[in-house]
Amino acid sequence: MTTTEVATSNKPTGVDRLRSQAAEASQVRALSTHPDVVALRVESVRTQVDVLMWVGILLGLAFTMVNVQAFAARGATLVSLPWLAAWLLDPMVSLVLIAVLRAEQITARYQVPKISKWITATKLFAFAATFAMNTWSSFLKLDAAGIVLHAIPPVLILCAAETAPVLRDRLTEAVMRAERTAALADPHKAAEPLAMPVVTQEMPPPPAALESAPEATREASPHAAAKTPRKPSSKPRKKAAAKAGRKYLSDYVTDALAAVEPGIDADVITPAWARKTTGCSAGLSAKVAAGVRDQLATAAVSSIERTAA
C-alpha cells in the first residue's frame, strides 16, 4: 500500500464526521443542564442584575441629595454651620436604606424569609422621608413638572429595592430546581463534580503503515526513529479501589428522611438542618435539603390521592 493510499484510508469520512458532531452535541446538551453549569450561568446573571440595580439606586440617591439639602438648609447662609449640617440629612437616611438593601441581597440569595416587620417599616420610612423632602418645595409652588421630576427618583428606588430581592430569590430557585431535576434523574451523577477534560497526545501512525511505505518516506517520518511500542500485557490492570465509606446524595437524603419527625414543617428543612442531621458538607447540604423536601411533598401528594380514592 502506498503512502497516498494510507492517507486516503485514514481520512475521516462523512459518516465519521457526522458521528463526531453528534457526540459533541450530546455532550453539550448534557453539560447545559448540569447543576454546576446552571449555577455558573445564573451566578453570572445575578452579578449583572446586582450591579445594574445598585448603580440605579445609587444614582437615584445622589440625585435626591441636592433637594434634600435645600429642604434642610431652608435659606441658610452659604457655607454656614446650618448649611453644612444640612448635607448630613440625606446620607443619614441613605446609609440606613443601603444597609437594609445590602442585608436583603444576602438573605434573598439564600431564600431566608423575613422574620420582622421592622425591615419593611424601615425601608418605607426612608423612602417616604426622601420623597417628602425631595418634593416639598414643588408641592408648595404647585409645580406639576417639578413634582413629577423630583418624585420619579424616590419611586424608582422603591421599585428597585422591592424588586431586587424577588429577582435574587427567583435566580436561586432556578439553581435549586436544576439541582432537584438532576437529582431525580440521576442522584449519583448529580452529586459528582464535573470531570476535567483529558488532554490526549497525538498518536504516531501505525507501524504497519510505516513498514509498507517507501524507504524515503520512513526515513522522513518523525516517528521513524521511535522504538516500536511494546505489546500491552494481556493481564488487565487492577482498578483503583473506591474510597471506603463514600456516600452519595441519595444516601444523605435517605439518612435525613429517617431523621424527619412526623408533622415537621418544610421551612425547618434548611441546608443548616441537613448538615446537622446528616453531617454532609456545606456544598451538598442544599441538595440534601431540597431532596428531602421533594420526597416529603411527593409522599404528601400520594397520601392525598390514596385518601381521595
pLDDT digits (tens, 9 = 90+) for 244-269: 456 777 888 888 888 887 777 777 78
> What is the tally of structural domains in the chain?
2
Q: What is the pLDDT of residues 18-56, one digit of tens each?
A: 878 777 777 776 677 777 888 888 888 989 999 999 999
Rounded Cα–Cα distance for residues 294 and 88 (Å): 51
Range of the domain at 173: 32-186
Residue 194: predicted pLDDT = 55
201 confidence band (pLDDT: 50, 70, 90)? very low
DSSP state of 270: -
Q: Pick from 156, 186, 216: which residue ends a domain?
A: 186
Whether 190 has a pLDDT exceeding 90, the answer reads no
| Claim to verify: residue 101 and residue 175 sit in the same structural domain | yes
Question: Dihedral through CA 86, CA 92, CA 98, CA 103, nearest 10?
Answer: 180
Last residue of a domain, one of 134, 167, 186: 186
Question: C-alpha angle with apex 135: 162 to 166, nearest 5 degrees?
Answer: 5
Q: Domain for residue 6, yes or no? A: no
User: 155 with 254, same domain?
Assistant: no
Query: Which set of grid coordinates corresponds to residue 174?
Result: 432556578
* Same-domain check for residues 180 and 251: no
Q: Which three cell numbers stand for residue 38?
A: 446552571
User: Residues 274, 292: contact at Cβ < 8 Å?
Assistant: yes
The predicted model scores a pTM of: 0.52
Q: In the listed set 166, 186, 206, which residue is the last one of a domain according to the structure?
A: 186
Phi-psi region of 230 (alpha: psi -120 to 50; beta: other; left: phi over 0): beta
- Residue 293 falls inside a structural domain: yes
